[in-house]
Structure formats: C-alpha cells, structure tokens
Amino acid sequence: GAGVSQTPSNKVTEKGKYVELRCDPISGHTALYWYRQSLGQGPEFLIYFQGTGAADDSGLPNDRFFAVRPEGSVSTLKIQRTERGDSAVYLCASKVGGTGELFFGEGSRLTVL
C-alpha cells in the first residue's frame, strides 16, 4: 500500500511478556518515528530513526523499550517484561528528510493484562 503500515493492529498480552510491534514506512522515506498515545492523551514521542541509526531515543521511557531499523526501512519496536502501564496505541510515522510532512500509520493497540 501507499501509506505507513503497522502490524499487528491489536495485541493483547500478559504482564511480563515480550512484545514486538512492526512498522513498514512509506517507500523512500528515510526518517521514521515512533510515538505512544495513551487513552485520552496526545501522542508522545519515543524514538526517531534517520536511515538505520537511532538519531534521538530520548522519549523511550526505560530500558525495557528498544527499537531497531536494520535496513533503513522496516522498524520494530520491542518491549520486554511488559507492564500494565505500557497499554497504549503505538504509532509509527515516516517522512522524507528535512521539513517534509509526517505521515502516520493507524497504530498498534497494545493491551497488557
């Protein structure tokens, strides 16, 4: 498709489990962002990739959260030892370099029981 694709759209897991969320950006977009949106709140920045490298990971809440983008396209957000407070919609967005428009995916809704 032409847009940012995120899988799974919904994920329910148990406290303590490991979760991976995948983002497939728009072809040719070099910049990729992850955001987290809690219920009733606006999205909060987590991490930004320019190409394969994490250019800014200042929004990751703690060391249970990690993200990779090994080939400069698809990215995976990894959450270890999930906690109930991790429940949120995780949004991915991509853009061309510079000041281009940011395009968002529909998000992956994570529920930790």
Please provide residue 102's backbone torsions phi and psi, each rounded to the nearest 5 degrees.
-90, 125
Q: What number of chain residues touch other proteins (CB under 8 A)? A: 25
Burial class (CB in 10 A: 0-12, 13-18, 19+), 103: middle
Region label for 92, one of left (φ > 0), alpha (ψ between -120 and 50) or beta (otherwise): beta
- In the bound complex, what is the minimum distance in angstroms from residue 13's beta carbon to other proteins? 23
Pick 62 or 99: Cβ nearer other proteins: 99
- Give the strand pairing for 19-24 and 88-95: unpaired
Interacting stretch for other proteins, rule CB under 8 A, among 15-23, 67-75, 77-85, 90-98? Answer: 90-98
Pick 79 or 89: Cβ nearer other proteins: 89
Kindly identify the residues of this chain, within the stretch 17-76, that bind other proteins according to CB under 8 A: 31, 33, 40-45, 48, 55-56
Interacting stretch for other proteins, rule CB under 8 A, among 16-24, 64-72, 76-84, 105-113? Answer: 105-113
How many CB atoms are closer than 10 A to CB 101?
7
Q: What is the spatial distance between Cα 95 and Cα 98, in angstroms, rounded to a whole number?
A: 8
**What residues make contact with other proteins under the rule CB under 8 A?**
3-4, 31, 33, 40-45, 48, 55-56, 91, 93, 95, 98-102, 104-107
